[in-house]
Amino acid sequence: MGLPAIPIVSDPGLDETVKGLTPEKIAKVVNRIIDSETAARFKVYMKTCVHCGLCSDACHWFLSNDRDPRFSPVGKVKQTLWEIIKRKDSLDPAFLKECSRIAHTECNVCRRCSMYCPFGIDIAYLLMVVRRICSELEMVPQFLQDTVNSHSVTMNQMWVKQDEWIDTLQWQEEEAKGEIKTARIPLDKEGADVFYSVIAPEPKILAQLIGNIAQIMAVAKVDWTMPSFDGWDNSNMAMYSGDFETMGRVERYHHEAALKLKARRIVMGECGHAFRGAAYDGPKWLGWKQPPIPLIHAVDFYHELITTGRIKIARKFKTPVTVQEPCNIVRGRGLGKKLREIIAATCEDFTPPYPDFEHNYCCGAGGGVINCGPPWKTSRVKGNEVKAKQLAETKAKIIITPCHNCHSGIEDIISGYKLGMHVKFFSEILMEVMEIPDELRA
Partner 1 sequence: MNLKAYPEKHSWDWETSTKEIANISDWISSFPEVQEIVISPEGERIAAIVMTEDDVFSVCVNGELWTNTFEKAWSLKFSPNGSLFCIGMNDDEWTVIEEDKPWEDSFDYVWNMKFSPESPGVGVNVRTSEGYGVALNGNPWDSKFVQMRSLEVSPDGKRAAGTVQLTSLAEGDVFSFKKGLWGLAVDGELWGTNFLNVWDCVFSTEGTKVAAEVRLVSGRQTIAVDGIPWDQEFKAVWRPIFVPDGHDVIAPCLTTDGWRLLVNGKSLWNKSFNQAWNTVFSPNGAKLAAVVSPEFGRWTIGVDGNVWKNSFGEVVLAPVFSPDGQRVAAVAKDSGKWTIIVNDVPWIENFDMIWDPAFSPDGLHVAAKAARGSDYFVVVDGKNSNQKFSKLGAPVFSPDGSRLLMKTVEAGRYFRKIVPLKNLL
**Binding positions for partner 1, rule: CB under 8 A:** 12-13, 16, 36, 136, 138, 142-143, 145-146, 149, 152-154, 161-163, 166-167, 170, 181-182, 184, 186-191, 228-230, 243, 245, 248-249, 259, 262, 264, 286-290, 292-294, 373
Contact 372, 415 (CB under 8 A): no
Shortest Cβ distance from residue 110 to partner 1 (Å)?
26
Q: Give the C-alpha separation, 342 to 305, whole Å.
A: 10
Contact 175, 208 (CB under 8 A): yes
Burial 90-123 (b: 16+ CB within 10 A, else e): ebebebbbbbbbbbbbbbbbbbbbbebbeeebbb
Q: Between residues 269 and 283, which has the closer beta carbon with respect to partner 1?
A: 283
| H helix intervals, 243-384 | 244-260, 272-276, 282-286, 298-307, 327-330, 336-346, 377-382
Q: Between residues 48 and 170, which has the closer beta carbon with respect to partner 1?
A: 170
Shortest Cβ distance from residue 72 to partner 1 (Å)?
31
Beta bridge partners of 295: 266
Shortest Cβ distance from residue 138 to partner 1 (Å)?
5
Shortest Cβ distance from residue 224 to partner 1 (Å)?
12
Beta bridge partners of 224: 194
Q: Between residues 249 and 404, which has the closer beta carbon with respect to partner 1?
A: 249
Shortest Cβ distance from residue 151 to partner 1 (Å)?
10
Q: What is the CA radius of gyration of the chain?
A: 22
Shortest Cβ distance from residue 241 to partner 1 (Å)?
10
Q: Between residues 187 and 392, which has the closer beta carbon with respect to partner 1?
A: 187
Shortest Cβ distance from residue 13 to partner 1 (Å)?
6
Contact 30, 46 (CB under 8 A): no
Bond before 355 cis per omega within 30 degrees? yes
Q: Between residues 278 and 342, which has the closer beta carbon with respect to partner 1?
A: 278
Query: At residue 323, what are phi and psi to the nearest 5 degrees?
Result: -140, 145
Shortest Cβ distance from residue 222 to partner 1 (Å)?
13
Shortest Cβ distance from residue 330 to partner 1 (Å)?
25
Q: Between residues 115 and 153, which has the closer beta carbon with respect to partner 1?
A: 153
Q: Give the C-alpha separation, 203 to 192, whole Å.
A: 22
Shortest Cβ distance from residue 320 to partner 1 (Å)?
38
Q: Between residues 122 and 256, which has the closer beta carbon with respect to partner 1?
A: 256
Q: Between residues 3 and 293, which has the closer beta carbon with respect to partner 1?
A: 293
Q: What is the DSSP secondary-structure string of 22-86?
A: -HHHHHHHHHHIIIII--HHHHHHHHH-----TTGGG-HHHHHTTT-GGGSHHHHHIIIIIHHHH
Quote the distance between the C-alpha of residue 162 and its chain's center. Answer: 23
Q: Give the C-alpha separation, 398 to 395, whole Å.
A: 9
Q: Between residues 245 and 348, which has the closer beta carbon with respect to partner 1?
A: 245
Q: Between residues 277 and 402, which has the closer beta carbon with respect to partner 1?
A: 277
Q: Give the C-alpha separation, 222 to 325, whole Å.
A: 26
Q: How many CA atoms lie within 13 A of 363 on its CB side?
A: 34
Cβ neighbors of 325 (< 8 A, separation 6 or more) are 331, 336, 339, 353, 356, 357, 358, 360
